Amino acid sequence: MNNDQCYHCGEPNAKTKIVFDDRTFCCHGCKTVYEIFSTNDLGYYYQLEQNAGATPDPITGAYDYLDNVDIISKLVSFDEDGVQVVNLTIPHIHCSSCIWVLENLNRLHNSIKNTQVDFLKKKLRVTYATEDYSLKELVTLLARIGYTPNISLKDYEQKSATVDRSLIYKLGVAGFAFGNVMLLSFPEYFEVEEFWLEQYKVVFRWLMLVFSLPVVFYAASGYFVSAYKGLTSKMLNIDVPIALGILALFLRSAVDVVFDFGSGFFDSLTGLVFFLLIGRFFQQKTYGFLSFERDYKSYFPIAVSRLQQNGNEENIQIYEVEKGDKLLIRNQEILPVDCVLLSGGARIDYSFVTGESQPVRKEAGDKLFAGGKQIGGVLKVEVLKSVSQSYLTQLWSNAAFAKNKASDFLTITDGIGRRFTWAVLSIAFVAMAFWLFYDATKAINVFTAVLIIACPCAIALAAPFTLGNLLRIFGKHNFYVKDTNTLERLAQVQTAIFDKTGTLTSASENTIFYEGIELSKEESSLLKNTLRGSNHPLSRSLYELLDAHEIKTLDEFQEQTGKGVLGRHDQHSIRAGSAPFVGTEPDSNSFDTAVYISADELYKGRFVFKNKYRKGVREMFVELSKNYSLAVLSGDNDGEREKLAQLLPLTVPMHFNQRPEDKLAFVEKLQETKKVLMVGDGLNDAGALAQSDVGIAVSENVNVFSPACDAILDAGRLADLAQFLRLSRNGITIIKMSFVLSLCYNLVGLYFAVTGQLRPVIAAILMPLSSISIVAFTTLATNFLGNKLKKQVKT
């Protein structure tokens, strides 16, 4: 038994550990969860995985809005005969213990009928009887055992997105037909003049024709549609020669069979479509638990408490909030609108918006912006603007959010597709013209043979397999890229822009330094003893910083919530807290969080909390500056300029006081000449992330928060960004090498085709051979690159 670790959540135990049932816990929350589990025969939870739990969040009235029938009816996916089914997203799901305990939830309440976990999507589906149970009780139960569900506006709006399984069906159809056609065409390969084979050849061929019909008209339909779209928009994408090849294969084979000219190329046809679809399937690596489309709706609560004229509270949906309404904002609730603080001790955490996690203190009469989270007591606010009109949410009406980056981008494969199509068509026509003079009976044969053999199957497979594999390798290193298209854009980036707060700096770690008159030994001892009594996060970090002193019993101790602490011992007193509390003026030039100190009612100085820069930021900038032009944009004032200048290479420009729109405009201006990569973290970067060619969101907990973006990077991997960028460029090189390889195969095939010797068996060998060798080459090459990355990361 490890006594230094909490038995439930694995956090190191604080000095005030709790011992219960021979086990140690870091806090009462964890102990309570353990009690719930152990009294309900769920102790196996702790045997499956060690320390799998999470400390439950304090919940007081947080889910009151779930009493509202309208809201419930929009959240549940099934509601009939006293049974409701609801799908909840639970970010904490991370191991087998989680699956086990959540699927045995019915032991905690009899009304819960059935629960099912989707691990990769981090979703829980619960069926429960509504007779003596409700959604609110269910959610509260989950929160109490540390599995707090994430209920947001987004769930509210789109309850059931239908899953698109068409690719799997198509793959099934193509694979089914491919296997059967191969079997049926096997006798033809040997060209034996055997009596019974000759007898039934025709039956076999007609059967193959029948099998190929669903392949051409269903499984390959995507290629025809895409080719048609490409042609109408005058863009020869790679699907044009593919569709041409499939069509030529099918028509030629059908004619062969109907007029009994030969066996046709059905094996090549079905094989081609099957391989192409495998490529598509491989390309789509999805991170079910991540969302790249999140906007403010994912974070905003779905309901708030409004104060009625008569003083009663009611829960209303946030779209119903109007200007002039008075709202109650409780602890841990997010402000959905811009408003004015009427009363209450406001400490607003704007980390969703700016990445800065130290809460900001606000007084009555101050303006509060949407997106901030209240920490502490209950606030009363008056609404200034409705949800969609608020400062932050207005950003989403910008055109940058409407454009589709993927469709405006010409991929490397489509780029080669254009030249390829022209080359193939001209070869086909020249060859046909030649044979018209030489032997007119063969002309059409040669023409179709060229189209068939030149079908760029291998070229079309190179990019999906290379990029798809890179996507998986990146994912293993906690860099989650949305799709292969993004990866290609990433390789072309020339400029990288960084947000400062929350991106380059850590949101959770601080450096603390002291400004002012040095504290004497007695004063510092008194301060430490005073801080011991306070549970405020700033007090805790300051307490850890100060040197150890003997423990004294204070004569007097006072803690005023939201203001500070006061301690008195032997005629001396000390105050620590906000500027007014210690009797001084706040330093208006600095926006950093500070704790002011006075001894014996005399102002001494202040402890300033500054965000710490992440590890390896300097090295990353040095590495990146070799190949990219860089810039730093910050929404803060330029107080950090000097410190940042020491960290960055001299050539990196820094811009301060940038509002969200400014960041967007900055990116837009750069895009006139360059491809821009934006690296940011908060909702205030969302505009720039959407506008940039590639927007990467840096996140300390990828499950919880990130604005809409193209890729999500785990904050711990920020230092490796240069490696990721280099790897994506290497990936493009691999694709180009595969193109050369597959062109070699095509040249061999074209030799047979142009000279009129292309027999089905040659096509049936050449086509899979080229495809498989391309797949093998790209997979091996990318894995080789991936291993290099692993080594670099380790050292």
Shortest approach of another protein to residue 71 CB, angstroms? 23
Site size toward another protein, by CB under 8 A: 39
Percent of residues in the chain assigned helix, strand, coil, to nearest 5: 50, 20, 35
Contact pattern from residue 20 through residue 39 relative to another protein, giving x for each residue in contact according to CB under 8 A and a dash for the rest: ----------------x--x
Member of 40, 127, 389, 394 binding another protein (CB under 8 A): 40
Per-position DSSP letters for 117-150, written without gaps between them = EETTTTEEEEEEESSS--HHHHHHHHHHTT---B
Q: How far is the CB of 155 from another protein (least distance, A)?
A: 18
Cβ distance to another protein smaller for residue 141 or 423? 141
Tokens 């055997």 belong to which residue? 194
Q: How far is the CB of 271 from another protein (least distance, A)?
A: 17
Q: Give least dist CB 206 to another protein, A.
A: 11
Q: Provide the 10 A C-beta neighbour count for residue 253.
A: 27
Tell me 477's DSSP state: T
Nearer to another protein, 56 or 372 (CB): 56
Q: Which amino acid is at 787?
A: N
**With the C-alpha atoms ordered 203, 205, 211, 216, is the resulting torsion angle positive or negative?**
negative
CA dihedral (687, 688, 691, 694) positive or negative: negative
Under DSSP, is residue 367 helix (H, G, I), strand (E, B) or coil?
strand
Pick the closer one to another protein by CB: 100 or 409. Answer: 100
Site string for another protein, 669-698 (x = CB under 8 A): ------------------------------
Site for another protein in 71-100 (CB under 8 A): 96, 99-100
Which tokens hold the place of 488? 């290609």
Query: Closest distance between another protein and the C-beta of residue 99, in Å?
Result: 5
The whole-angstrom separation of Cα 543 and Cα 538 is 8
Site for another protein in 156-175 (CB under 8 A): 163, 165, 168-169, 172-173
To another protein, the closest distance from the beta carbon of 109 in angstroms equals 6
The nearer residue to another protein, 36 or 342, going by C-beta atoms, is 36
C-alpha 197/C-alpha 210 separation (Å) is 19
Nearer to another protein, 175 or 230 (CB): 175
Work out how close the CB of 276 gets to another protein at its nearest, in angstroms, rounded to a whole number: 19
| Dist. CA 50–CA 608, nearest whole Å | 38
If the CB atoms of residues 116 and 511 are measured against another protein, the closer one turns out to be 116
Least separation in angstroms between CB 140 and another protein: 11
Per-residue binder mask for another protein (CB under 8 A), 185-224, x = binder:
-----------x--xx--x---x-----------------
Cβ proximity of 302 and 65 under 8 Å: yes
Nearest residue (CB) to another protein, 196 versus 437: 196
Please give the residues from 375 up to 414 whose contact with another protein meets the rule CB under 8 A: none
Task: For another protein, give the closer residue by CB, 117 or 542.
Answer: 117
Q: Which of residues 90 and 531 has its CB atom nearest to another protein in the complex?
A: 90
Q: Quote the least distance from Cβ 173 to another protein, whole Å.
A: 8
Calpha distance 697→748 (Å, rounded): 47
Q: Are 169 and 115 in contact (CB under 8 A)?
A: no
Site mask, another protein, residues 510-549, x = CB under 8 A? ----------------------------------------
Q: How far is the CB of 61 from another protein (least distance, A)?
A: 19
Write out the two tokens for 129.
């009887």
Sites for another protein among residues 128-157 (CB under 8 A): 132, 141
Q: Measured from the CB of residue 123, what is the shortest distance to another protein in angstroms? A: 9
Name the region of 749 (left: φ>0; alpha: ψ -120 to 50; beta: rest).
alpha
**Residue 286 CB neighbours (<10 A):** 12
Cβ atoms of 181 and 239 within 8 Å: the answer is no
Q: In the complex with another protein, which residue's Cβ is closer, 170 or 610? A: 170
State the Rg of the chain over Cα. 33
CA–CA gap between residue 258 and residue 744 (Å, rounded): 34
Nearer to another protein among residue 124 and residue 395 (C-beta)? 124
**Which CB sits closer to another protein, 201 or 532?**
201
**CA–CA separation, 648 vs 736, rounded Å?**
35
Minimum gap (Å) between residue 124 Cβ and another protein: 11
Nearer to another protein (CB atom), residue 142 or residue 708: 142
Return all residues near 317 (Cβ < 8 A) that are at least 6 apart. Answer: 68, 70, 71, 156, 302, 303
Angstrom distances, CA of residue 552 to CA of 518, 533, 548, 574: 21, 12, 12, 14
As measured in angstroms, the least distance from the Cβ of 118 to another protein is 5
Neighbours of 669 (CB within 10 A): 10
Instruction: Classify residue 311 by burial, with Cβ atoms within 10 Å: 0-12, 13-18, 19+.
Output: exposed
Instruction: Give the C-alpha separation, 361 to 593, whole Å.
Output: 9
Q: Within the chain, what is the greatest distance between any pair of CA atoms?
A: 117
Helix and strand counts by DSSP (H, E) for the chain: 25, 28
Minimum distance between the CB of residue 786 and another protein, rounded to whole angstroms? 22
Torsion angles phi and psi, residue 647, rounded to 5: -80, -35
201 vs 612, beta carbon nearer another protein: 201
- Residues 100-129, one symbol each (x = binds another protein by CB under 8 A, - = not), give x--xx--xxxxx----xxxxxx--------
Nearer to another protein, 120 or 772 (CB): 120
Binding mask 41-60 for another protein (x = CB under 8 A): xx-x--xx------------
**Shortest approach of another protein to residue 765 CB, angstroms?**
25
Best CA proximity match to 728, nearest among 463, 397, 546, 355: 463
Confirm if 625 and 659 have CB atoms less than 8 A apart. no
Residues lying near another protein in the complex (CB under 8 A):
36, 39-42, 44, 47-48, 96, 99-100, 103-104, 107-111, 116-121, 132, 141, 163, 165, 168-169, 172-173, 176, 180, 196, 199-200, 203, 207
